[in-house]
């Protein structure tokens, strides 16, 4: 049984996916979506029974992981989930039927370039691909990256004792730094930098390292031109362009789920009436996100919402706002999640420690690699607790108990760029805040798999319900057809209608136009609600020489069905 209990290098990932196909040739297919700037393959997996035409006409779920290259836990979970589905479909009737009516597309790792850093020495966290970029716009490319100054094989942090610094030691936990609050009369005493030297002598440290573009900042919705790591323009990278093209070419994708920085499941996003351009969930879609958020938290064992967040130019926002699809996103793992899950498992009263309320750290997170700084969060208001500091302390306490290797104790060094100043190297290890210790992966993957399977089962599903025929004599028949959606989701979200990217459900009576006395050969239906929602279509037809006629119902997101209508009066006993 697949467990998801290990992090996968790019070669191992390719081997696992090929093995999946070899063992399940009737169910699984793997292909190369594109190649990254670092010459790594971006793999696409498709699961589903039947022919290619069958699979393309069914409602589909798209699952994306590793779009931010420092997300390795998401990759492990997706691969374990795919393996679990393949293993269970021969013995589990529910899974077998699911894969007969739903198609699953999965990209376990969209950014393989950045994932290589996890397995490299020294280990340095990165979320960007290998595209050469002049981050500091000095005419040089990737000339000032980090160095492992203390030889421990990790690129961590440097704190430099400096009266012009923005930080002070946390009074409650001196291993951590917090921003000095000038309103409270606090004077800064430390600078915080990534580990390394000023290689280009511009008095900025590690501001132009290797790479690159963060693929989850490169999509069109809310794209920020000139923002660090966003790329030269929207979908400018081979990985993002290939993913966007794939989505456009597969209009049967009814829902998407992506692991990454964006999160609309641990906390329900705000909703409002639609406007142009849209900036929030359509108010009519909010209930679906609310209920699915509850299902996500239930799968993870959470008892309350955590603080969610997003970022400009994410894939998940583009899928919802521009493509009109249900688009769910969450971090595979985070400090807030680790603390909240531990509290839930030990039945600790959540009111005694609100450390799980949100993921924003006081110490810059490894998920936001090496400052292109100097962005700073607003100082806490006087006389109010510094929530971010509390969260940081809570996670450090959790790490001390469960994974002490996540925090490297500070070590003094002699730094040539800071003669006569105290410099210490240490702090959070690479990937400490974005990926759990490997021993926790299997349990996490099991929880993710439970949610993803449930999500796949909730896609819209069109069926033909009742068929009523009334014989009006002389070969004339009154035909009424009920189209029902037995899935959970509607055949189109409100945003799908608003964006005009989800076509209406099409009902076609396969009969000559001249034989249709009332009604039209082709009828377009608006969104059909899920959980048994239905709409009726009615015709009056002339068919004296026919015993049956055929009807076809095509829903872009709910599948395709055909049926024969027997021309017998159903109103008679």
Q: What is the mean pLDDT of residues 32-51?
A: 97
Structure tokens of 46?
A: 């498709």
Region of residue 349 (phi > 0: left; psi between -120 and 50: alpha; otherwise: beta): beta
Structure tokens of 3?
A: 């467990």
* Residue-wise DSSP of 335-386: HHHHHHHHHHHTT--GGG-GGGG----SSPPTTS-S------PPPPPTTS--
Mean pLDDT, rounded, of the chain: 89
pLDDT score of 388: 63
pLDDT score of 198: 83
If 0-12 CB within 10 Å is exposed, 13-18 middle and 19+ buried, where does residue 141 land?
Answer: exposed
Strands 103-107 and 60-64 come out as parallel
CA distance linking residue 302 with residue 342, whole number of Å = 9
Statement: residue 371 has pLDDT above 90: no
Question: Percent of the chain, pLDDT > 70?
Answer: 88
Statement: residue 534 has pLDDT above 90: yes
> Which residues does 182 contact at the CB level (< 8 Å), separation at least 6?
379
Statement: residue 158 has pLDDT above 50: yes
Q: What are 466-504's pLDDT values in tens digits?
A: 999 999 999 999 999 999 999 999 999 999 999 999 999
Statement: residue 372 has pLDDT above 80: no
Alpha carbon 238 to its chain's center: 19
Residue among 218, 219, 217, 221 at smallest CA distance from 276: 221
pLDDT score of 204: 72
- Give residue 376's pLDDT band: very low, low, confident or very high (50, 70, 90): very low
pLDDT score of 309: 78
Per-state percent for the chain, helix, strand, coil, to nearest 5: 30, 25, 50
Statement: residue 450 has pLDDT above 70: yes
Structure tokens of 195?
A: 């580990």
Strands 60-64 and 253-259 come out as parallel
Statement: residue 141 has pLDDT above 80: no
**Cβ atoms of 528 and 483 closer than 8 Å:** yes
Q: What is the mean pLDDT of residues 372-393?
A: 51
CA distance linking residue 445 with residue 2, whole number of Å = 9
pLDDT score of 515: 94
pLDDT score of 188: 93
- Give residue 5's pLDDT band: very low, low, confident or very high (50, 70, 90): confident
558 to each of 390, 462, 506, how far by Cα in Å?
46, 5, 11
pLDDT score of 307: 84
Q: Which of 54-63, 71-80, 377-386, 552-561 has the lowest mean pLDDT?
A: 377-386
Q: What is the mean pLDDT of residues 136-165?
A: 82
pLDDT score of 359: 39
* Residue-wise DSSP of 145-160: ----SS-SSB--EEEE
- Give residue 178's pLDDT band: very low, low, confident or very high (50, 70, 90): very high
CA distance linking residue 561 with residue 554, whole number of Å = 7
Structure tokens of 226?
A: 């000139």
**Cβ atoms of 77 and 259 closer than 8 Å:** yes
DSSP 313: T
Residue among 381, 345, 347, 70 at smallest CA distance from 214: 70
* Higher local confidence (pLDDT), 200 or 333: 333
pTM above 0.85, yes or no: yes
pLDDT score of 387: 55
Residue among 253, 254, 256, 330 at smallest CA distance from 299: 330
Residue among 45, 46, 37 at smallest CA distance from 111: 37
pLDDT score of 494: 97
Structure tokens of 34?
A: 């594109």
Structure tokens of 466?
A: 């009742």
pLDDT score of 139: 67
- Give residue 187's pLDDT band: very low, low, confident or very high (50, 70, 90): very high
Domains of the chain (ranges; CATH) run 10-117+213-333+435-457 (3.40.630.10), 136-210+356-428 (no CATH), 462-566 (2.60.40.10)
């Amino acid at each position: 049984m697949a467990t998801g209990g290990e992090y996968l290098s790019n070669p191992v990932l390719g081997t696992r996916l090929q093995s999946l196909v070899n063992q399940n040739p009737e169910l699984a297919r793997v292909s190369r979506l594109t190649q990254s700037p670092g010459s790594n393959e971006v793999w696409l997996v498709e699961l589903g029974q039947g022919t290619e035409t069958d699979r393309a006409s069914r409602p589909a779920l798209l699952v994306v992981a590793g779009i931010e290259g420092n997300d390795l836990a998401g990759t492990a979970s997706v691969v374990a989930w795919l393996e679990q589905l393949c293993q269970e479909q021969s013995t589990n009737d529910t899974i077998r039927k699911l894969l007969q009516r739903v198609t699953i597309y999965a990209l376990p790792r969209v950014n393989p370039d950045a994932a290589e850093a996890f397995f490299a020495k020294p280990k340095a966290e990165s979320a960007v691909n290998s595209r050469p970029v002049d981050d500091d716009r000095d005419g040089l490319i990737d000339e000032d990256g980090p160095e492992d100054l203390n030889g421990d094989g990790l690129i961590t942090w440097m704190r430099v004792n400096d009266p012009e610094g923005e930080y002070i030691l946390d009074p409650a936990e001196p291993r951590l730094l917090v921003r000095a609050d000038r309103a409270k009369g606090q004077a800064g005493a430390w600078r915080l930098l990534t580990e390394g030297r000023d290689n280009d002598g511009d008095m900025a440290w590690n501001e132009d390292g290797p790479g690159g573009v963060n693929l989850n900042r490169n999509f069109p919705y809310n794209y920020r031109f000139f923002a660090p790591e966003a790329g030269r323009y929207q979908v400018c990278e081979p990985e993002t362009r290939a993913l966007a093209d794939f989505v456009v070419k597969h209009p049967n994708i009814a829902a998407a789920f992506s692991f990454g920085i964006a999160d609309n499941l641990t906390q329900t996003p705000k909703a409002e009436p639609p406007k142009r351009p849209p900036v929030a969930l359509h108010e009519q879609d909010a209930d679906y996100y609310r209920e699915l958020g509850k299902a996500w938290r239930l799968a993870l064992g959470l008892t309350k919402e955590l603080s969610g967040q997003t970022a400009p130019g994410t894939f998940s926002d583009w899928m919802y706002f521009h493509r009109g699809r249900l688009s769910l996103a969450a971090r595979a793992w985070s400090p807030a999640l680790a603390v909240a899950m531990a509290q839930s498992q030990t039945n600790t009263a959540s009111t005694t420690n609100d450390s799980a309320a949100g993921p924003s750290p006081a110490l810059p997170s490894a998920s936001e690699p090496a400052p292109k700084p100097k962005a700073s969060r607003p100082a806490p208001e006087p006389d109010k607790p510094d929530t971010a500091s509390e969260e940081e302390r809570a996670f450090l306490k959790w790490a001390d108990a469960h994974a002490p290797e996540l925090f490297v104790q500070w070590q003094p060094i002699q730094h040539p760029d800071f003669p006569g100043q105290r410099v210490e190297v240490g702090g959070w290890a690479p990937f400490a805040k974005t990926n759990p210790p490997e021993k926790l992966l299997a349990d996490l993957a099991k929880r993710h798999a439970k949610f993803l399977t449930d999500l796949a089962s909730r896609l819209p599903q069109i069926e033909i319900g009742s068929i009523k025929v009334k014989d009006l004599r002389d070969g004339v028949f009154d035909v009424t057809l009920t189209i029902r959606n037995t899935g959970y989701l509607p055949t189109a979200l409100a945003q799908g209608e608003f964006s005009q990217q989800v076509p209406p459900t099409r009902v076609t009576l396969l009969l000559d136009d001249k034989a249709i006395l009332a009604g039209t050969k082709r009828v377009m239906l608006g969104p059909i609600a899920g959980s048994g929602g239905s709409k009726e279509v009615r015709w009056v037809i002339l068919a004296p020489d026919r015993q049956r006629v055929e009807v076809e119902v095509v829903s872009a997101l709910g599948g395709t069905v055909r049926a024969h209508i027997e021309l017998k009066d159903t109103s008679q006993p």
